[in-house]
Structure 1
């Protein structure tokens, strides 16, 4: 059985052009948001955490890992007020508190490599995290996956 790579060690975040990026010792790393979450929140639906997805979709979803909450000192100062955290399913495989940006849960693609082009972009699904992304709207998004 093939195993997915592990979560890279983020030392902080920075802005590069129009995107919020992860900082690692080996170079910048793309960050992502799960775009369908906006529609789910606005229509009152809940997107489950990855463990509750159908088996045939888990290989795709597990390519994206929630970014753990980071210390404020490692975040870009001008954007500090846009970051937050959210609790994840305590019984799940990824049970750590997750970093959010403008309310959006933040992810890395485990197939991306620091210092290379983002490979995890799936249009209208996983999109690169942009500095000017509108806040995630609606109530009740704290328990949303993947």
Structure 2
């Protein structure tokens, strides 16, 4: 779902939402991921990094100088790994400081300087870690304003 939200693809799903498990419905109807997918800029996300261990980082610019990211780990024969990325390598160089938020929940991750390292764990088998960034001086809270 997170990678799909970065793709700006149409929101088409061939399933009766009344018949799927609650956990699946919560993912499919996640307002934050839908907001990222349906961002008014309509820009398709693209892969910006390929890291060791089959990790890809995808990025999508959003309205208001926000940026959504998805880290994808596609090795089903291993255990979760720890990933560390420099915000500059993510293209976050326009502002000095950024606020990072977890995309699924909208929870605040923290304030980072554009030269800081952001580290997180990611599960194998195509699981993702999704987050978005906004300038620390912008207090709009993109995904939290529903």
TM-score by length of 1: 0.26
The higher-RCO structure (CA 8 Å, 6+ apart) is: 1
Q: Which has the higher strand share?
A: 2
Larger Rg: 2
Q: Which has the higher helix share?
A: 1
TM-score by length of 2: 0.26
